[in-house]
Each structure stands twice: as C-alpha cells, then as structure tokens.
Structure 1
Amino acid sequence: MRIDTINIQQYSEYLDTVDTAVFQQSPFHAKKFEHDGWTVEFIQASQEKEVYATCMLAYLPLMKVFKYCYVARGFLADYKDRDKLVKFTSSLKQYLKKKNVVYLEIDPEIDLVQRDKDGNVVENGFHNYDVVDNLKSAGFLQLPLKQGYDLSKECRFCSSIDLRGKTSDEIFNAFSSATRRNTRTAQKYNVHIRKLNVDQLHILDSMEKETSARQDFEAMSLDYFKNLYRFYGEDHVETLLSYLDLDEYEQKIKKEYNTTLTSIEKTKAFLEKNPGNEKKEKRLKTDETYLDSLEKKISHIQELKDTYGKEVPLACCLFIKYGHEIVYLVGSSNYEQRDFRGPYAIHWHMIQEAIKEGYDFYNFYGISGYFEPGKEGYGVFDFKRGFNAIVHEYIGNFILPCKPFIFKIYNNLKHIC
C-alpha cells in the first residue's frame, strides 16, 4: 500500500465525492488548524488505484523534537473493513514514524450505539462495536469513554434532527408540545430574524459573554467568531439575531388594547339592558383582566425603549453550513427577555432554511451525555430534545502509538491512557 501526499485542491475534490465528511474534516478547518499553530498535510492511501483512506493530518510539536498527530473526526475510510483498516493503519504508522510522530489520535464521528431523543439505548437498534474492535485490531488504544463537557476534545455526545424526506410541517409536529408552544409564542410577538455580517459579531460576543457569566462557562472570543468567517467564508457561516421591533410591537399591543376596550364597552352596554347575563358577565371579567395585562405591556414597552432603543436583542446563534448538515455551533440569549422566546424563533427559522436548501441533518451539536434532571448540561439537552433531536453517542477517542518506547515515557508523564 502506498501513501501519497495530496494538495488541498485534490483533497477538496475528493471530499466532493463522499457524503460523510463533516466540517472538522473540511479544507476550511485546515486553515483554522494552521492559524492555531498546527502544521497540516493531506494524504491518500491506495493500492492498485483503489483508495483505502483519505485524511487531513494535523501536527503539533511534542517534547521539542517529536510530534503529536491528530486526525479530526477520523479518516475518510471504511471502518467496517477490518483487513483494509489494518493495512492502512500499518502503513500510516510507518509514515508517521518517519515524521517523528510519537502518537496519533483520532475521534471518528461514528455512533457507538443507537440512542433515542431521551438518550436511551434503542432496543435491537444498531451498534458499531465491530468498528471499535477493528480499530483495536489495527493497533489503536481506546481512551476511556466519558460524559460531560471537555473543551479540549470534540463532542462525544451530540443531538440532531434527521430532515431527510420530511416537510416543515412534519418536523414541527414532531416537536414537544412545549417547544411548539414556545415557537408560536415567538411568532405571536412578531419576533424578527436578521442575518449579521462580520462587523456585527460584537452583538453575538456581548450576548455570549453575558450568557457565559450567568451559566458559568468559558465564552469564545470575538476573534474566534471573526476567524470562523475568515476560514470558512460567508457561504459556510451564518449568524442570526432574533429581535423585537418595539414600534411594531407597541402598535400590535395598542391595537389589541383598543379592540379589547371596545369589546368591554359593548359588553357593559349590553349588561345595562340585560343585567344578570352570566355569559356576558364572564366575558366582561375576562376582557377586563386582559385589558389590565395589556396596560402593563404598554408600560413595559416604554421601559424597553428606554433600555434598548427601538430593538430588543433576544438571541444570537452562529451556524456552520457544510456537507450534508447545518451545525448549531454557538448560541446565546437575553435571559431578561426570555418571555419572547428568541432562541425558538431562530432555530425554527434555520430548520426551515435547512429543509429548503436540501440539508439532511440539523445538528444541535454538543450535549453532555447526562440525561437526568440535575446533572451537568441537562437543561441544554432538554432544550434540544424539545425539537425532537436524536442523541448520538460517538465511539470516542483512539490513540495509535507510533514510537512505542517514547510514547510509554510520555504517557507515564501525562497519563494519556
């Protein structure tokens, strides 16, 4: 078997022939790697003109004279074919050994077992234990399977909506009743969606910092968001803002106020002529209660204008559009104005866009892997579950020692596995 280096154009053209590549395997992600200090090269393994595997290798210095190699989301290869995988791994190990690589790490985006939207393992569902066995047969060491968030690793648990062959109505009707209600609430308030450009990413940054402080997680920087546009381009990155137009909202509420006031006056006039009508008395009480709530909303609108001006930012989300899916990468919201359901407006807008543009999956991306109330990340999981997002548990991270003696020394120091 031979391993050849290919250029980024050849790599990109090969990706166009497969439907399993994810954004971490894209040539755009190579630019991010290089910006972050990695050295990147693309290789293709073949025998008698048959391609066995293609991948992007990313290197970092290790102990000054050695290297660490990482293949984001694994090789583009058939992991089910043990013989080919073993042959390829053997050739790759020798290739990397010559480059002074101590060990290789991969984290294939392959489901370990089939799970449902609640995180439960599906009875008699599919599994990929054979892939794990094949990797071990090829010489890989599997790292312990963990739950929870780890910013130094790619997500091991994700959730996504399968859009294939479904209409918007079918997708919407599969939402939980609470998610449908919250989405309709956003529509009732006429929540708008606007696409942000690079120069407006400070809106996302500000909201992300506020959300991270409230929920105690480390926020990404403004430069991180800008660099995503720089690496991926505007065709593959989209940032949406949901907001409330206060002038429009005020007109809507005042119109409802006047309509309700007219109804009250008519009901009172009727009761003067027909006292004791229980149905009308009940209607009057309901209208008066509603009128009181509208008066409070009108007063609140002025408070909102004093604070925000003409628009209230509600939520902001950044998406990656690549291959067969749209990935929800970053999201934040205005907690004080959560009653307007800004995040629901954005996701429903983008889900419909994904269907219209022919994407197969709407990937809500990372969840913690904990599915019980009170556990780490449960709220995030439950929010995504409301959209009928199915849980995916991936097979995890695998290590291939290329220089066993050096790796043993390094592992004793760093406790990698």
Structure 2
Amino acid sequence: MYSYKTGISAEEHDAFVLQSQQTNLLQSSSWAKVKDDWGNIRVGFYDEKELLAVASILIRPLPLGMTMFYIPRGPVMDYLDKNLVAFVLTSIKKMAKTKKALFIKFDPFILFGHHQIDQEAVQNPEAETIIRNLQDAGCEWVGRTTDMAENIQPRFQANIYAKDFSEANLSKKIRQSIRTAKNKGVEVRFGAHELLADFSDLMKKTEDRKSIHLRGIDYYRKLLDSYPGQSYITLTTLNLKLRLDDLEKELEAAQMALANYPETTKPTKIDNTKKEIERLTDEIFFLKDELTKGKERVALSGTLTLEFGGTSENIYAGMDETYRRYQAAIYTWFETANHAFEKGNHWQNMGGVENDLSGGLYNFKSKFKPEIEEMIGEFNLPVSPLYKLSNLAYTIRKKLRSKRK
C-alpha cells in the first residue's frame, strides 16, 4: 500500500536520487539552499517501507497568499509505473492545496531523444508512454517547445561524456585554439572563493556585452557555499608583463631576421616575416595600453561548476571580450570538462542550447562534440480553479522578462 511522508531527511532524499537513473543536480537537497527565496518540501513516497520516489519541491510565494509548486528535474520515480505516477501526483496535489498553490509545474529528468552532432536523433522509446501516463494523471504537457525562453530549464542541453572526451577527438580548429591559448601564455587555475571576485567581474562584462541580466557575486558565493567540495571555478588569466616581454623578444628576432635576409630570399618568406612583425607590433601596442590601466595579471574567461553524484554542471560562464585574441574561452571550457572527468564525473553538462539547434550557444558548444539531449519538457498539474488564468499570467510574464533580456 502506497504512502508518503513530508520532511524526509536530506540524506534519505539524496541517497535515492543518487541510486536512480535520474541523478541530477536540481533534485539534490542542496539546490533548495541555493533557491532560498523559495520555500521547500522534501517528500518520500513508499510501498510499505520501501522508498519508491522522491521530490524536492520548491514553493514560490505569489500575491494574495497564493503559491506555485515547482519540481525542477523531478519527481524522481519510475514514470512507466502508472499507478505510482498517479499516487505521487495526487499526493503532491493534496500538499499543494494546503499551501494554496494555483498549479504544480515540473520537468522530469527524462530524455525525449538525443543525438551526436551532425547525426540523426535517436528517440527515447519510452517517452510517449511516459507522456501519456502523466496526462492520464491529470497533467498538461507543455509540448516540444521551439523557443528556449518558453521553459524554466533548457529543453535542449549539450552534454559531454567522459568516455568520449579527449583533446585528440576535437576538431583541428579547436585543438589549434587550445594551443594558441597555451602558446600565448594563458594560464588556468581551479579554485573557489579566492577566485570569486575575478569570476564575478567576468560575468558583469558578459552581462554588458550581451545586454542581459545575470547574477551577482553573492549568488555565485551561495552556489559554492551550498556545494562545499563539490564546486569549483575555472579561471584563465594572462600575465601582461610576461607576455609583453616575450613579444618584444620575438619582435626583435623577427626584425633582425628581416634585416639579414639575403637577396635570394623568396618574396613569400619576406612577406610572411613582415606580417609577423605587424602582428607582434599590434599585440605589443595592445598590451602596453592595457598595462597603463594598472593590472599586470588579468582574468580572461571563467566557469562555475557544481557536482552531484558523478555528474557535473557548468552553471555559469563569462569572458572578457577585450582579450578574445587569446582564445581563452575555448581553453577554459576544455579545461573545465577535463577537470570534471579527472575528479571522477561521468558527464559534464555544458548547459542549454537553442531549441532549433542554431545560434550562439549551439555554435559555441557544438565545437566540443557534445551529445545534444532533448528533454521531455514541462508539465503543469492544475490545483486551483484559477489555474488557467494564473498560468496565462505566468506565461505572459515569462515572455516579457525574456524580451527584457
């Protein structure tokens, strides 16, 4: 006989998520610490004493004492067990009524399909059955949305798997970009709180460049604090003075070579050396100008990563466009994934990409040959007679916020 219990321990909740096939960061108990402006309930669902399902539910306060329930990447359960699905959702609906929730929104950690870059998508054969089971339990499926902004969590994500990842498997162009960063003196560091100031500054520059609103240093600190030992910042930096010294030596050598070429030297070799002198002179001028601003070492690019149960999520990434020539962003993302796998993670989620598989996010992340995974999407479970009106208001508000970004 099924039963449920609210307020289960974080240990019991996380242990169940970790042994499931739906292990994901957003259903870890610590995610509620990050979203501390929401309420939170952890619920376990049992058959006698056997734990069959869990849900970490976020509760958003709304005007007039109303609320909204949201279960990110959950509940965690066997979605093919129709009786269990019905019991879990009926039980959550009862809880939602006590909290004056207008509706419950959730987006299970279930794939609709997946594919390698430039290959045909492989559909999850269980997806259609799962959708029907949820609809039979009273849920409305939002569907295979086409706009990234229509969902709370990305419906398409780029995921790198440890078993497939190596520098040798990347394209020649990307390998060259990584070599360029190394050859130009870009250094990589892994850390946490000691790198927060530089990372936050990069995120602010990314905000300004893209004309979007992201988060501030307090939120990034909260992410690190909520996952101690399971979080890290990857930061690439450049020592401007050391790089300038190297360039000036290279310039002197190139100028000397040009001056000493014999008359029999091929014109192409002379032209190439002149172009090299121009490139070196341009970068030297750039670095001298940057040094006048008072910093000898600058942060070029950074990522913030959280881990949970052998999974790794690249939560935020930023860069300084001023230093684009150093290819630091590609180097940073590559080293972020490398570090994740060295720490024993099975996959590294690079985050969402555009639903139509075009645009800036897709074009950049596809360089790393990830698996493109299409999630099953969002479901709404009505709770209040005001559901349709409130969901319409929610949808309009989300679209307006997306446009402001």
TM-score (normalised: structure 2): 0.86
Q: What residue number does 1:375 align with?
A: none
1:43-62 maps to which residues of 2 (within 5 A)?
43-62=43-62
Q: Deviations over 1:49-97 (max 9, x none)?
A: 3322111122234554554322111111111233332333334434544
Q: Deviations over 1:211-242 (max 9, x none)?
A: 22221211212222122123223x22222221
Q: Deviations over 1:218-277 (max 9, x none)?
A: 1212222122123223x2222222121123212322333344345445533xx4xxxxx3
What secondary structure sits across from 2:214 in the alignment?
A: coil
Partners of 2:347 and 2:326 lie apart in 1 by 27
Q: What residue number does 2:112 align with?
A: 112
Asked if 2 retains the 8 angstrom alpha-carbon contact of 1:116 and 1:391, the reply is: yes
Q: What residue number does 2:243 align with?
A: 249
Asked if 1 retains the 8 angstrom alpha-carbon contact of 2:112 and 2:124, the reply is: no
The equivalent position to 2:220 in structure 1, one of 210, 216, 225, is: 225
Deviation at 1:185, TM superposition (A): 1.4
Asked if 2 retains the 8 angstrom alpha-carbon contact of 1:102 and 1:407, the reply is: yes
Asked if 2 retains the 8 angstrom alpha-carbon contact of 1:304 and 1:312, the reply is: no
User: Is 1:391 aligned with 2:372?
Assistant: yes
Partners of 1:256 and 1:415 lie apart in 2 by 58
Distance 1:154 1:282, change over 3 A: closer
User: Is 1:407 aligned with 2:387?
Assistant: yes
Of stretches 69-78 and 127-136 in structure 1, the one that deviates more from structure 2 is 127-136
The equivalent position to 1:338 in structure 2, one of 324, 330, 335, is: 324
Deviation at 1:336, TM superposition (A): 1.8
What secondary structure sits across from 2:19 in the alignment?
A: coil
How much identity, in percent, do the aligned residues show?
20
1:165-314 maps to which residues of 2 (within 5 A)?
166=164, 171-195=166-190, 197-198=192-193, 200-233=195-228, 235-264=229-258, 267-268=261-262, 271=263, 277=264, 279=266, 282-314=268-300
Partners of 2:124 and 2:140 lie apart in 1 by 26
Q: What residue number does 1:135 align with?
A: 134
The equivalent position to 2:341 in structure 1, one of 342, 355, 358, is: 355
Partners of 1:171 and 1:316 lie apart in 2 by 20
- Aligned letter for 1:379? G
Deviation at 1:349, TM superposition (A): 1.2
Q: What residue number does 2:401 align with?
A: none
Deviation at 1:124, TM superposition (A): 6.8
Asked if 2 retains the 8 angstrom alpha-carbon contact of 1:114 and 1:127, the reply is: no
Asked if 2 retains the 8 angstrom alpha-carbon contact of 1:79 and 1:134, the reply is: yes
User: Is 1:3 aligned with 2:16?
Assistant: no
TM-score (normalised: structure 1): 0.84
Give the RMSD, CA atoms, in angstroms: 2.8
Q: Deviations over 1:6-45 (max 9, x none)?
A: 1223223333433532111112112123x21x22121111
- Aligned letter for 1:387? F
Deviation at 1:196, TM superposition (A): 5.0
Of stretches 238-247 and 198-207 in structure 1, the one that deviates more from structure 2 is 198-207
Distance 1:98 1:333, change over 3 A: closer
The answer for unaligned runs of 5 or more in structure 1 is 272-276, 373-377
Q: What residue number does 2:306 align with?
A: 320
What secondary structure sits across from 2:292 in the alignment?
A: helix
Distance 1:122 1:17, change over 3 A: closer
Asked if 2 retains the 8 angstrom alpha-carbon contact of 1:113 and 1:121, the reply is: no
Asked if 2 retains the 8 angstrom alpha-carbon contact of 1:19 and 1:323, the reply is: no
- Aligned letter for 1:213? D
Deviation at 1:152, TM superposition (A): 7.4
What secondary structure sits across from 2:135 in the alignment?
A: helix
Of stretches 207-216 and 356-365 in structure 1, the one that deviates more from structure 2 is 207-216
Of stretches 357-366 and 77-86 in structure 1, the one that deviates more from structure 2 is 77-86
Deviation at 1:3, TM superposition (A): 0.3
Aligned residues: 394
Deviation at 1:339, TM superposition (A): 0.6
- Aligned letter for 2:32? A
What secondary structure sits across from 1:267 in the alignment?
A: coil
Q: What residue number does 1:29 align with?
A: 31
Partners of 1:127 and 1:216 lie apart in 2 by 40
What secondary structure sits across from 1:256 in the alignment?
A: helix
Distance 1:284 1:415, change over 3 A: closer
Distance 1:104 1:339, change over 3 A: same
- Aligned letter for 2:324? R
User: Is 1:41 aligned with 2:22?
Assistant: no
